[in-house]
Amino acid sequence: MVRMEPKDITEETQNWGHEGILCYSKICTHVGCPIALWEQQTHHLLCPCHQSTFDLGDRGRVVFGPAARRLPMLPIEVDEDGYLAARSDFLEPVGPSYWERNSPSYWEKQEKKFFEEEAAK
């Protein structure tokens, strides 16, 4: 979980967070190392194992390194009691890309369903 200046976050990414607070998986999508090297000035998160770098201001987009897909993001909100809460599960697989997964179409359906439900609110 990170807090960034809203001006450093793309509009699409802001929709998944709350006032600059964003929540991402901490497991690298390359081969699963825990990621924790935060570069505040560039808003990049660096994996110490093979230097994959993710832009947290742009939905965890890969900007460098061997990771083949972005860092999964958890959509959050503030609930009626004032606590940060997940609006859904992760909408794409968490962890390294080599694990057995459901077909990509499953995750595409999950993401589509989430956005349809969000639009209906």
Residues forming contacts to ligand FES in the complex (CB under 6 A) are 28, 30-33, 47, 49-50, 52, 65-67
The tokens for 47 are: 């994996």
Smallest gap, in angstroms, from Cβ of residue 101 to ligand FES? Answer: 17
Smallest gap, in angstroms, from Cβ of residue 34 to ligand FES? Answer: 9
d(Cα 27, Cα 60) in Å, to the nearest integer? 12
Instruction: Name which of 13 and 52 has its Cβ closer to ligand FES.
Output: 52
Instruction: Name which of 47 and 91 has its Cβ closer to ligand FES.
Output: 47
Instruction: Name which of 4 and 49 has its Cβ closer to ligand FES.
Output: 49
Secondary structure E strands in the chain = 2-3, 21-22, 37-39, 44-46, 53-55, 61-64, 76-78, 84-86
Smallest gap, in angstroms, from Cβ of residue 17 to ligand FES? Answer: 23
d(Cα 14, Cα 1) in Å, to the nearest integer? 14
Q: What is the 8-class DSSP label of residue 18?
A: B
Smallest gap, in angstroms, from Cβ of residue 15 to ligand FES? Answer: 27
